[in-house]
Structure 1
Amino acid sequence: MASLYNRAALASILFVGATAEESCPCPETLRIGGVSHGNEADKFWDPVYAAANRAAMDSSVDLDFARYDESSTLTGQGGQEIVDWMVDTIEKMCTGDNTVDGMFSTINDVAVLTALKANCLANGIPTVIINAGGNLAQESGNFLHFIGADDYNTGKDAGEKLLAACPTCQRFYCLDHCGGCTSWTDRCRGFEDAVGDAYGQTIQIDDSSEDAYIASVESVVIGTNGTWGDDVGLLLGTHQSMILFAEALHNKHKKVKLAGVDTSPGLFQVLGDDEWLWGTSQQPYLQGYYPVQMLANTIRMGGQSLQTFNLETGPTFVTEAPEGQALCNSDPFQSCVADDAQKPETVSHLAGDEPSPGARKLASVTTRFVSAALRIFGI
């Protein structure tokens, strides 16, 4: 009987020793919601959504990141249709019986800001803003963070750089393909402030076709003069279709210098040509990953995890196309997958293998408990 008692006591001690070394239990799964003005036709948003899904896997999060269907055109990003959809989505996620634990969103319209304040913040749901609307969010207060590039500074930096790069340019124009959304309104405002008296105007682009795009620019730049005139500098988006349209515009009017906001495979193909000066990067992957991870940390820690409101992911200027592995690292639209032969083999820590530091530590603790038990119970 004594031997049986001693063995039971030893088992109890070993169990306590083992559990003392175990990590904290897995956190309860959180439900985090998100919404953006990036529809499925706009490939810029692909890495944002991919990164958010990756962060959800890493952070034990049930993610509901809504995206407008591809039937909407790029021009529709700033239109009332997508604004109404975003407002409706926000109301559904932040009110009712099944609200999200945390929320993140772009602010491409004041109506979206109002919906976030009235539905999410009013119900105590921590909320992060990404990509667009950082200034509006900061002025309103109570939002946790803005994650993205300041659009006004993006336009201002681009204007200063374009002035220096094109001293022969007499006029500069900002091409807004977004239908007046806050991002391009702020970028064009910064661009105008940088180029000063040489600013022509903001041109609302019709991106429904190449001919419509060219006509949008010509109607303003040529005006009633009937000729293109001196060198002209244009700031524009770099979506694939925009690159093709801008190339067609340059083929027709050689006295044009092009500078892009954001990057894309199409931009990388034309960088280095005389007419293209650069693109800018605002790290869309980080704009998807950070909000999910930071909301999860904030909710679980019971308070704001970082005191900094603006978490700037850009802009940085991209003046040449990366190659090789650098392309995989720099191009958020390309997925780099290792060949099976290049994938590292799974390493086991069975007999004869080198144990991990954690395994060595656990073995050491277990040995000490066993030794103590043997001394106490005389086993």
Structure 2
Amino acid sequence: MMSQRNRLSSILLLLSASFVVLQPSYVYAENERFIMISHAPDSDPWWNTVKNAVKEAGDIMGVEVLYRNPASGDLADMARIVEQSVASNPDGLIVTIADFDVLKKPLEKALRKKIPLITINSGTHQQSQALGALLHIGQPEYQAGYGAGQKAKQAGVSHFVCVNHYITNPSSVERCQGYADALGIKLGNSMIDSSQDPTHIEKKVQAYLRRHPATNGILTLGPTSATPVIRLLDKIRLAGKIHFSTFDLSDEITHAIEQGSIAFSVDQQPYLQGYMPVVMLALYKRYGIIPANDMDSGPAFIDKNNVNSVITLSGTVR
């Protein structure tokens, strides 16, 4: 005859088996398709980390994610890509708000079609809400620039140049403005439109330093402008003698931090900007689940004290 203890064990086993059977399976619609559209030109290596994150998230969530961008970084071209993408009726859109006014009209069509939208990288939380996005994932650029400026002020920077390689993107100006405000200096001519050509950047910064010999601080806005400035400071023997900070990471930037020619980098953790929107769109489409708040992916500051923790990950997940 079965004892009370054995009877209880049998009941618990049956309940456990029933629980496993009743658990909801991993459900998703076949052929789910998301499109990510960035403002980045093909020449910008920073976006490789975002692309890596998109691919991994797409594989894990079982969804196709197409990455599209204007080859030259032209914002009118980006707006056309958004219109084409909306017309293809994807299951979700991920878009950078490179210019709110340029992108507002094509994204209104996505809202009317009830295509779920998550904004990333450029733009503000307020702009994201105005576009009808579910949420925004990115770095508050003015605050990030302000934080960089505070560090520069502590280091004694009193005259600076902000090397802006993508001046048509309002977020880039916010970085320079925040930096200037933290230093208590008017931005004015301290921000230069450097273009994206490495040789031109190097020449333009060198010319600025010749005209403004009191400059003791340089801020670049990413690898596109940072790499030529690293080369320039080596050539004119100012590496490590002038306070040099930058946004974002690359092999060249992490090496320069390690060597002491760059004081720090402002890392907006781009992997989060690629990975999280794919996961969140998938959860929203399948279960109606979405975080109640936006996500600030940065700023995080990388300097000599912590560069070794990211140096082997540069260009892949950092």
Q: Determine helix, strand or coil for the equivalent of 1:197.
A: coil
Partner of 2:273: 287
Residue from 193, 203, 215 that aligns with 1:204: 193
Q: Please tell me whether residue 117 in structure 1 is matched to residue 107 in structure 2.
A: yes
Distance 1:262 1:206, change over 3 A: same
TM-score normalised per structure 2:
0.83
Distance 1:198 1:241, change over 3 A: closer
What is the Cα deviation at residue 141 of structure 1?
Answer: 5.1
Residue from 231, 237, 245 that aligns with 2:221: 237
Q: Distance in 2 between matches of 1:222 and 1:327?
A: 33
Q: Please tell me whether residue 170 in structure 1 is matched to residue 158 in structure 2.
A: yes
Contact 1:102 1:125 in 2 (8 A): yes
Partner of 1:257: 243
Residue identity in the other structure for 1:281? D
Residue from 135, 151, 168 that aligns with 1:161: 151
Q: Distance in 2 between matches of 1:118 and 1:248?
A: 45
Q: Distance in 2 between matches of 1:99 and 1:47?
A: 27
What is the Cα deviation at residue 117 of structure 1?
Answer: 3.1
Contact 2:53 2:275 in 1 (8 A): yes
RMSD after superposition: 2.8
Q: Determine helix, strand or coil for the equivalent of 1:317.
A: strand
Distance 1:207 1:17, change over 3 A: closer
Q: Distance in 2 between matches of 1:322 and 1:160?
A: 20
Partner of 1:276: 262
Q: Distance in 2 between matches of 1:248 and 1:218?
A: 7
What is the Cα deviation at residue 253 of structure 1?
Answer: 6.3
Partner of 1:366: none
What is the Cα deviation at residue 144 of structure 1?
Answer: 1.1
Distance 1:22 1:218, change over 3 A: closer
What is the Cα deviation at residue 241 of structure 1?
Answer: 6.3
Distance 1:251 1:185, change over 3 A: same
Partner of 2:315: 333
Share of identical aligned residues, percent? 24
Mapping of residues 139-150 of structure 1, within 5 Å: 140=130, 142-150=132-140
Point out the more displaced range, 238-247 or 142-151.
Answer: 238-247
Between Structure 1 and Structure 2, how many residues are aligned? Answer: 297
Contact 2:226 2:253 in 1 (8 A): no
What is the Cα deviation at residue 137 of structure 1?
Answer: 2.0
Deviations 1:207-253 (Å, cap 9, x if unpaired)?
A: 4243x223322444443xxxx43352011034166324333145326
Q: Please tell me whether residue 247 in structure 1 is matched to residue 248 in structure 2.
A: no
Distance 1:152 1:146, change over 3 A: same
Residue identity in the other structure for 1:319? D
Q: Distance in 2 between matches of 1:278 and 1:18?
A: 52
Structure 1: which 5+ runs fail to align? 1-15, 336-379
Q: Please tell me whether residue 188 in structure 1 is matched to residue 176 in structure 2.
A: yes
Deviations 1:88-141 (Å, cap 9, x if unpaired)?
A: 11112212xx40121110011234431443221122111111110124524625
Q: Please tell me whether residue 315 in structure 1 is matched to residue 299 in structure 2.
A: yes
Partner of 1:129: 119
Q: Please tell me whether residue 56 in structure 1 is matched to residue 62 in structure 2.
A: no
Q: Determine helix, strand or coil for the equivalent of 1:118.
A: helix
What is the Cα deviation at residue 301 of structure 1?
Answer: 2.1
Structure 2: which 5+ runs fail to align? 1-16
Distance 1:215 1:17, change over 3 A: closer
Q: Determine helix, strand or coil for the equivalent of 1:271.
A: helix
The structure number with the bigger radius of gyration is 1
